[in-house]
Amino acid sequence: MAVIVKKFGGSSVATPDKIMAVARRVLREKKPDDKIVVVVSAMGDTTDDLISLAKAITDKTYGREMDMLLATGEQVSIALLAMAFVELGHEAVSMTGFQAGFTTNEMFNKAKITGINTDRIWEEFNAGKIVVVAGFQGLTQRGDITTLGRGGSDTTAVAVAAGLKADHCEIYTDVDGIYSSDPRVVPDARRMKEITYNEMLEMARLGAGVMHPRSVELGKHYGMPIHVRSTFTNEPGTFIREEYTMEEKEFVIRGVTHDTNVAKIAVLGVPDQPGIAYKIFSTLAAANIDVDMIVQSVRVMDKHIIDMVFTIAQGDVPQAKKIMEKLNSQMDFSGLKIEENVAKVSVVGAGMLGNPGIAAATFGALADAGINIEVISTSEISISCLIDSSKVKEAVNAIHSRFFPA
Ligand code: ADP
Ligand code: ASP
Ligand code: MG
């Protein structure tokens, strides 16, 4: 007997025909004793459409009500998929996040899973059913519906796989694996047979939307192998695991990613004295705003002021703007600029540790393409450059062809 979790993304369940095709595929591959959980996302562009509905009513952020709205998308697809299984002759039951045992904290719109109780899923397994679980959602202790952030169904899948101690977790999507760059942006991107949790996590955090970062984190934490593969073919895709087992370890750079969900805040003429950075960043942190790249300028000669530039997600701009304007009235900066026409391009690879020249090669590729770098940041296994968002495609292709020559 194997316990297997299979997750199908929005484009894989976009129409009733596609839902039937998913059900047929799961049944075709299922061995008689297998216990199967199928996690699904909302159909096609449903989540985007729900967000547009809310925007037609208000510009404000409504945490709780927004999650109440967004969670309905997945409820449609689980019900239809469970019906599809039954129509094809196999017992099945649909479950919302809560029915499947997911509890989360109260951070609406980007909630974190705090626990999963799989008793009900086991009950249904023992009754011979395929269990269809709504991705992307959970319930707080108070009983409020939450969602896990865009792309969060991946995290539901890996979490339920870990909770069930499943044999593995399969993520079915509209690409046939993880590529060295988004294949929609880089036609020459290469498909990988395998990638480590650490490198995939860094790629996901730096914008590779194929996997929700938190899902990779959970995979690593629980040692759950994740297989990312195509809904539409039977070929194996990419395995995400702790270590390489094949020849692939020879690559120094694994991927080139981009993220356009970035805004730049420049605070000019800040007093050069202890406690200023603390004041700015602790105030933002208290509002749950993640700050990413940070640069502080060197003080010019005897002027006791400096400039500070940092980046945040675009969704946090309205709140950050209010906070920064309030700080400005207390601290009297000489200027405050917020720009959303920026993007971050990054190279990722554990092999860059102890391999000098990777940063130079990245900057060289951008220089040759005539692209200006506004801010640079690094981690042990990545280098990121902030650039003008209109240059993103060009930048990613230039860097990719430097590290993965044809
Ligand atoms: P799903 O709805 O199945 O969750 P997503 O749209 O969230 O699908 O993720 C799949 C998409 O991720 C692909 O169509 C691809 O354009 C994009 N993507 C971004 N970076 C990568 C990458 N490095 N490898 C593969 N796909 C990527
Ligand atoms: N439906 C949600 C979204 O579009 C969650 C997911 O697809 O993973 O972001
Ligand atoms: Mg996704």
- Which residue is associated with the tokens 């409020």? 144
> Given this model, what pLDDT does residue 244 score?
86
> Given this model, what pLDDT does residue 19 score?
98
Q: Is the CB of 179 under 6 A from ligand 1?
A: yes
Which among 119, 150, 174 is the end of a domain? 174
Quote the CA–CA distance of 19 and 263 in Å, as a whole number: 37
**Is 28 in the same domain as 128?**
yes
The answer to whether residue 187 is domain-embedded is: no
- Which residue is associated with the tokens 């004793």? 33
The answer to whether residue 10 is domain-embedded is: yes
Ordered strands of the 102-104 beta sheet: 113-116, 102-104, 137-139, 145-147
Here the CATH number for the domain that contains residue 335 is 3.30.2130.10
Q: Which two tokens mark 121?
A: 């899923």
The answer to whether residue 162 is domain-embedded is: yes
Per-residue pLDDT of the chain (406 residues; tens, 9 = 90+): 899 999 999 999 999 999 999 999 999 999 999 999 999 999 999 999 999 999 999 988 889 999 999 999 999 999 999 999 999 999 999 999 999 999 999 999 999 999 999 999 999 999 999 999 999 999 999 999 999 999 999 999 999 999 999 999 999 999 999 999 999 999 999 999 999 999 999 999 999 999 999 999 999 999 999 999 999 999 999 999 999 887 655 678 999 999 999 999 999 998 888 999 999 999 999 998 999 999 998 877 777 889 999 999 998 999 999 999 999 988 888 899 999 999 999 999 998 988 889 999 999 999 999 999 999 999 999 999 999 999 999 999 999 999 998 8
> Given this model, what pLDDT does residue 249 score?
57
Q: Is the CB of 208 under 6 A from ligand 1?
A: yes
User: In 88-229, which residue ranges form alpha helices assigned H by DSSP?
Assistant: 119-126, 153-164, 197-205, 213-222
Quote the CA–CA distance of 201 and 135 in Å, as a whole number: 20
Q: Which two tokens mark 146?
A: 């939450």
Contact between residue 85 and residue 23 where contact means Cβ atoms under 8 Å apart: yes
**Is 157 in the same domain as 14?**
yes
Judged by its nearest atom, the ligand closest to the C-alpha of residue 203 is 1
Which among 174, 204, 219 is the end of a domain? 174
In DSSP notation, 236-252 reads: --EEEESS--SGGGG-S
Domain that holds residue 76: 3-174
DSSP 174: S
**Is 146 in the same domain as 12?**
yes
The answer to whether residue 214 is domain-embedded is: no
Q: Is the CB of 71 under 6 A from ligand 1?
A: no
Q: Is the CB of 41 under 6 A from ligand 1?
A: yes
CA of 157 to the centre of ligand 2 (A): 12
The answer to whether residue 312 is domain-embedded is: yes
User: Number of structural domains, the chain?
Assistant: 2
Helix or strand or coil: residue 24?
Answer: helix
**Is 292 in the same domain as 170?**
no
**Is 168 in the same domain as 70?**
yes
Pocket test for ligand 2, best of 7, 41, 66 (most atoms within 8 A of CB): 41
Quote the CA–CA distance of 214 and 139 in Å, as a whole number: 18
The answer to whether residue 367 is domain-embedded is: yes
The distance of Cα 298 from the centroid of its chain, to the nearest Å, equals: 34
> Given this model, what pLDDT does residue 353 score?
84
**Is 152 in the same domain as 270?**
no
**Is 157 in the same domain as 264?**
no
Residue type, 99: Q
**Is 266 in the same domain as 386?**
yes
**Is 27 in the same domain as 120?**
yes
CA of 351 to the centre of ligand 1 (A): 24
Quote the CA–CA distance of 84 and 88 in Å, as a whole number: 6
CA of 152 to the centre of ligand 3 (A): 7
Here the CATH number for the domain that contains residue 105 is 3.40.1160.10
Between the two ends of the chain, the Cα-to-Cα distance in Å is 44
**Is 170 in the same domain as 261?**
no
The answer to whether residue 90 is domain-embedded is: yes
Quote the CA–CA distance of 403 and 336 in Å, as a whole number: 37
**Is 288 in the same domain as 392?**
yes
Contact between residue 257 and residue 403 where contact means Cβ atoms under 8 Å apart: no
Q: Is the CB of 165 under 6 A from ligand 1?
A: no
Residue type, 198: N
**Is 139 in the same domain as 8?**
yes
The answer to whether residue 75 is domain-embedded is: yes
Nearest CA to ligand 2 atom 4: 47
Q: Is the CB of 149 under 6 A from ligand 1?
A: no
Give the residue from 149, 135, 145, 143 showing the smallest Cα distance to 51: 149
| Ligand 2: nearest atom to the Cα of 10 | 7
Which among 157, 174, 191 is the end of a domain? 174
